[in-house]
Amino acid sequence: MTTTSSPHSHPLDEALQLAPSPSAAAGQYEGHTHAGYWNMVGPFGGITAAALLRALMQHPDRLGDPLSLTVNYAGALAAGPFAVQAVPVRTNRSTQHWTLSILQADAEGAQVVTTTATAVTAVRRETWSVGDVPMPVVPPPTEHKAIVAPQGAVEWLRRYEMRPIAGFVPRTWDGSGDHSLTQLWMRDAPERPLDFCALAALADVFFPRVWLRRARQVPAGTVSITVYFHAGAAQLQETGTGYLLGQARGQEFRNGFFDQTVQLWNEAGTMLATSHQIVYYKE
Amino acid sequence: MTTTSSPHSHPLDEALQLAPSPSAAAGQYEGHTHAGYWNMVGPFGGITAAALLRALMQHPDRLGDPLSLTVNYAGALAAGPFAVQAVPVRTNRSTQHWTLSILQADAEGAQVVTTTATAVTAVRRETWSVGDVPMPVVPPPTEHKAIVAPQGAVEWLRRYEMRPIAGFVPRTWDGSGDHSLTQLWMRDAPERPLDFCALAALADVFFPRVWLRRARQVPAGTVSITVYFHAGAAQLQETGTGYLLGQARGQEFRNGFFDQTVQLWNEAGTMLATSHQIVYYKE
Q: Does B178 touch chain A (CB under 8 A)?
A: no
Q: What is the model's pLDDT at position B283?
A: 84
- Selected residues 262-281 of chain A with any CB under 8 Å from a CB in chain B: 263, 271, 274, 276, 278, 280-281
What is the tens place of the pLDDT at every residue in B241-280? Answer: 999 999 999 999 999 999 999 999 999 999 999 999 999 9
Could you tell me the pTM of the whole model?
0.96
Contacts of A127 in chain B (CB under 8 A): 255-256, 281-283
The closest alpha carbon to B120, from B147, B76, B149, B86, belongs to B86
Fold classification of A145-281 is Porin (2.40.160)
Q: Enumerate residues 6+ apart whose C-beta is below 8 A from B144.
A: B163, B164, B165, B184, B185
Nearest chain B residue to A134 by CA distance is B251
Nearest chain A residue to B216 by CA distance is A128
Long-range pairs for B257-263 at CB < 8 Å and ≥24 separation? B257/A67, B257/A122, B257/A124, B257/A228, B257/A230, B257/B223, B257/B281, B258/B209, B258/B210, B258/B213, B259/A228, B259/A230, B259/A274, B260/B180, B260/B206, B260/B209, B261/A261, B261/A276, B262/B203, B262/B206, B263/A251, B263/B133
Q: From CA B119, how far away is CA B99, in angstroms rounded?
A: 6
What is the tens place of the pLDDT at every residue in B100-155? Answer: 999 999 989 999 999 999 999 999 999 999 999 999 999 999 999 999 998 999 99
- Selected residues 82-121 of chain A with any CB under 8 Å from a CB in chain B: 89-90, 92, 95, 97, 99, 101, 112-114, 116-118, 120
**Three-state SS for A83?**
strand
Best of B102, B257, B266 to substitute, by most chain A Cβ atoms within 10 angstroms, is B257
Q: Does B228 touch chain A (CB under 8 A)?
A: yes
What is the tens place of the pLDDT at every residue in A40-87? Answer: 999 999 999 999 999 999 999 999 999 999 999 999 999 999 999 999
Q: From CA A208, how far away is CA A213, in angstroms rounded?
A: 9
Fold classification of B144-281 is Porin (2.40.160)
Q: Does A146 touch chain B (CB under 8 A)?
A: no
- State the span(s) of chain A assigned CATH 2.40.160.210: 11-122, 145-281
Q: Enumerate residues 6+ apart whose C-beta is below 8 A from B76.
A: B41, B42, B114
Contact B128 A283 (CB under 8 A): yes
Contact A226 B70 (CB under 8 A): yes
Contact B97 A113 (CB under 8 A): yes
Q: Predicted ipTM?
A: 0.96
Q: Does B173 touch chain A (CB under 8 A)?
A: no
Contact A97 B226 (CB under 8 A): no
What is the tens place of the pLDDT at every residue in B30-89? Answer: 999 999 999 999 999 999 999 999 999 999 999 999 999 999 999 999 999 999 999 999
- Residue B250 distance to chain A (closest CA, Å): 6
User: How high is the mean pLDDT of chain A?
Assistant: 95
Contact B72 A120 (CB under 8 A): yes
Q: From CA A201, how far away is CA A205, in angstroms rounded?
A: 7
Q: From CA A62, how far away is CA B216, in angstroms rounded?
A: 33
Burial class (CB in 10 A: 0-12, 13-18, 19+), A250: buried
What is the tens place of the pLDDT at every residue in A204-240? Answer: 999 999 999 999 999 999 999 999 999 999 999 999 9
Contact B95 A282 (CB under 8 A): no
Q: Does B67 touch chain A (CB under 8 A)?
A: yes
Is-cis flag, bond preceding B190, omega within 30?
A: yes
- The CATH code for residues B11-122 is 2.40.160.210
- State the span(s) of chain B assigned CATH 2.40.160.210: 11-122, 144-281
Identity of residue B193? P
Q: Does A241 touch chain B (CB under 8 A)?
A: no
Contact B75 A89 (CB under 8 A): no
